[in-house]
Chains A and B, each alone.
Chain A
Amino acid sequence: MNVLEANPLLETEEPERKPAPTEAAIRRKRRNLLLGGCTTLGALLLALLFLMPLGYGAATALKDKDGVSDPNTPILPVAAETFEYEGKEYDVYSVPMPDGEVRELALIQPGRESSVFIDPEAPGAGPIEWDGRWRTLDKVSGLSPQWGNFAEAWNAIAFLRLTGWTLLYAVSTVIFTVVSSALVAYGFARFRFPGRGILFGLLLATILLPPAVTLVPKYAVFLQMGWVGTYLPLIIPHLFANAFNVFLLRQYFMTIPKELEEAARIDGAGPIRTFVRVIIPQAFPALTAVSLFHFFYAWNDFFEPLLYLAGNRQIVPIGVGLSYFSGVYNSEPHLILAAALLALALPVAIFLVAQRVFVQGIVVTGVDK
């Protein structure tokens, strides 16, 4: 069963019974329309509330430093508008003219009772004299997104370096864990051997048990080996399969009809050949899903990189790098938010592109197998 197939967007509407709509049918239809509208509107409000922090992050990441710390700051990044005239910057005010019109003019020569303005739209028309106190006028402000914040954050966190190390970590462990987990999953799915039940039970138990209980001796040994401060303690264990991935892949392998493998065996293929030629192509959706899951897991991994790379800040992955950055730049929230948005861009983009595979994977590897 598949979430995607039940997508109402793709579903055709229920066939309507054309002949002579009775009053009850009309009422029912109207009620359904109303319920549909209310449900969808409610969902929209809920989604807006749920995603509100992203909007806040985007708006704030584009503000300048003053705009961030002012409690009465407008929601959007705005700044006072200025106009450059004869090599100098002048503030723009909204000025009520004697004829009742309000014009946006730049103040070039403030005076007590009368001031001189210039029209930014037509500076050639010359200065405009205005009688009145300029201090009573309101400054004009306009949208002024500080796109430079992203460049600044990009450089300050060394975004390319962080992303490079994170990609190295994510891609290498995806390859290691998917290959090793697929082998182990095939072993559990298709071969009978003494102790299989107990071993599989142990495998499931390691999903639930806290890895903290293994950390102290592991750290001590890795330190002895000189691995602390490198990626080796983070990458090498993935050569030995991951219990959750094994479980998901085993569930999927068990749904593949055995006849295919028997045919391969009759043709003289050994178990390894059968695995590579028959199982791997059949299990492609599950393997893709597990790869994606693991990619995002590695992208998010924090605890172990924090622990094993503590002495080597130059090579930390992006999560740890962001946390160091926020500790140093805690008085500049606009830069922190710009960095956070940079960090989420790639995973979210990958998700949006691969969301069909991804969502399918949650289901394929999951419930109804």
Chain B
Amino acid sequence: MSDFTQAVLTARRRRGARPTRPASPMQRREARWGYAFIAPWIIGFVLFWAVPIGASLVFSTLDFQLTDPGATSFVGTSNWERALSDPNTWTALAATFRLTVLFLPLSLVVALGLALLLNSRHLRAAGFFRLLFYMPSMVPLVAGILIWQQVLNPQTGWVNRIIGLTGVNATGAEGIRWFDNPVLVLFAFSFIGLWGIGNAMMINLAGLQGIPTELYEAAAIDGAGWWRRLRSITLPLLSPVMFYNLVIGSVLIMQYFVVPWVLFGATGRPDGASRFLLVHFYQQAFVFGDMGYGAALAWFIFLVVAALTGVLFGTARYWVHYGTERS
């Protein structure tokens, strides 16, 4: 899967290396077949990506209400001005970034930790444990959310009752209310998110098993301990995989929707902590039917994600180790 990020990073270089001599009839024939095979994607790309993205930009300059499409009018940049001055836009951006800062490092570390554990030669029945740790990822998201909603119930949920065993008063009137506090709710989101960690864990595990054991043997002869081997061998060689998980993880958090929506709808409770970018967009465009404003918000999200991925790929060459270039 790390090949994906590598492919993105090297796409430009490959393009530059294309020969420019005139095509022979055989090459033209091959090219025609190539276009024929990729035609479904090209049609889909034009119909469902290129045209809608452009149209979205046009929509963002219109006052277009779903309830009254006949009264659509051109309003210039006023939807954009509204998007940038709407306090909900900024609380949504802040909520999204807070969750990113908490959950992204947590998920990367837990996915790596579980993969290291599953890859440990000391672990017995590793196949069985791999199954156990992967299984929650197979639980349909909404079912998982509803289970967590109950298990985090302040009075009857097992999480608070387990915490209560340590002597902390978790279940009482002054107990831990996971869904009423804007900071605690981020932890509730994170718990639910950790249940979906299976894929990242498996990708890490496959990456770990791809590291040549001779490297570890040589390091052990040199007297390197566990921590040293992790820092000097495992992490650099795993960096492409980690980068892939980082990119996919941050892109997914930028589009965080299902969990806050199932738990809180468009209310933003508690204190706006569940109003993420996509919740804000969905509410404006499809609950209130303000499609012009929704289009402006969608473009805002688009720009944020594009900037974020741009920054991530920009940093890649400083810490992602791709070894030798593969063809």
Contact = CB atoms under 8 A, between A and B. Distances in A.
Interface in B41-79: 41-45, 47-49, 51-53, 55-56, 59, 64, 66
B16 to A, nearest CB: 9
A319 interface: yes
A74 to B, nearest CB: 11
Contacts of B125: 8-9, 40
Contact of B206 (A46, A307, A363): A363
B153 interface: yes
Nearest to A223: B66
A6 B208 CA distance: 11
A56 B147 contact: yes
B311 interface: no
A333 B147 CA distance: 9
A52 B152 CA distance: 11
Interface string B147-167: 111110101111000100000
B133 A50 contact: yes
Contact of B148 (A4, A53, A243): A53
A366 B203 contact: yes
Contacts of B194: 50
A191 B27 CA distance: 9
Interface string B109-153: 000000001001111111111111111101111111011111101
A310 B123 CA distance: 48
A167 to B, nearest CB: 13
A122 interface: no
B179 interface: no
A62 interface: no
Nearest to A270: B33
A362 to B, nearest CB: 5
- Residue among B148, B171, B209 facing the most chain A CB atoms (10 A cut-off): B209
Interface stretch (A78-86, A108-116, A133-141, A211-219): A211-219
Contacts of B30: 191-193
B15 interface: yes
B122 A70 contact: no
Contact of A192 (B31, B40, B255): B31
Q: Is the interface of B mostly helix, strand, loop or mixed?
A: helix
A187 B38 contact: yes
Contact of A210 (B64, B138, B285, B305): B305
Given A43-B129, A220-B291, A318 B153 contact: no
A73 B150 CA distance: 14
A204 B40 contact: no
Contact of A193 (B31, B47, B55): B31
Contacts of A207: 4
A214 B301 contact: no
Nearest to B172: A71
Contacts, number: 330
Given A56-B157, A220-B291, A241-B44, A187 B171 contact: no
B223 interface: no
A192 B47 contact: no
B302 A209 contact: yes
A197 B41 contact: no
A339 B144 CA distance: 11
- Residue among B122, B153, B207 facing the most chain A CB atoms (10 A cut-off): B122
B110 to A, nearest CB: 10
Interface string A327-350: 000000100110111011001100
A230 B52 CA distance: 20
Lowest 3 A-B CB distances belong to which pairs? A240-B44, A187-B37, A191-B34
Given A1-B209, A40-B124, A60-B156, 18 more contacts: A3-B205, A8-B121, A39-B123, A53-B151, A75-B158, A206-B49, A208-B247, A212-B298, A217-B56, A239-B40, A240-B41, A240-B44, A303-B258, A322-B142, A322-B143, A333-B156, A348-B138, A359-B202
Interface of A: 1, 3-4, 6-10, 32, 35-36, 38-40, 42-44, 46-47, 50-57, 60, 68-71, 73, 75, 180, 183-184, 186-188, 190-194, 196-220, 223, 237, 239-241, 243, 246-247, 251, 271, 275, 296, 299-300, 302-303, 306-307, 310, 318-320, 322-323, 326, 333, 336-337, 339-341, 343-344, 347-348, 351-352, 355, 359, 362-363, 365-369
25 contacts: A1-B206, A3-B206, A6-B209, A8-B121, A8-B127, A9-B125, A43-B129, A47-B132, A186-B37, A187-B37, A187-B38, A191-B33, A192-B27, A206-B49, A210-B278, A210-B302, A211-B255, A217-B55, A240-B40, A271-B33, A319-B141, A347-B139, A347-B140, A351-B135, A363-B202
